[in-house]
Amino acid sequence: MRNLKKKVDEVKIKKPIDEKDPAYRAFLAWLTFPSWLLLLFNQPIGLVLLYAALGSLFLLLLAITLLFLLNSKEVRPEFRNRLWNNAALIMVIIIFLTLGVAKFI
């Protein structure tokens, strides 16, 4: 999230991410507490299903992010996505969205 923020006074501040960063701590909490809650309620199957669902959501968001980032003007032309890369990422997004919508309907 910090990398998506706007430039401050037209100067990019390059500060390394450390363990005191709020985004880092929020991510650690996100990894820790859902599993504890499901184990407290004695639901190990729910824990497996939750992590499978979150994993599939992560792959969808990863495909969207790669499509967005690797086509931006900030990336040098030799490292940008080619047509077949974009087609594969769009196909992955369409499949995940189709399966997600079909599952909830």
The model's pLDDT over 8-36, given as tens digits with 9 standing for 90+, comes to: 544 455 666 678 888 788 888 888 887 77
Residue 49: pLDDT over 60? yes
What pTM value is reported for the model?
A: 0.58
With a CB cutoff of 8 Å and minimum separation 6, the contacts of 21 are 2
Q: Is the dihedral of CA 84, 88, 89, 93 positive or negative?
A: positive
The angle, 0 to 180 degrees and rounded to 10, between the axes of the packed helices 44-69 and 22-40 is: 150
DSSP run (H or E) holding 98: helix 83-104
Q: How confident is the model at residue 88 (pLDDT cuts 50, 70, 90)?
A: very high
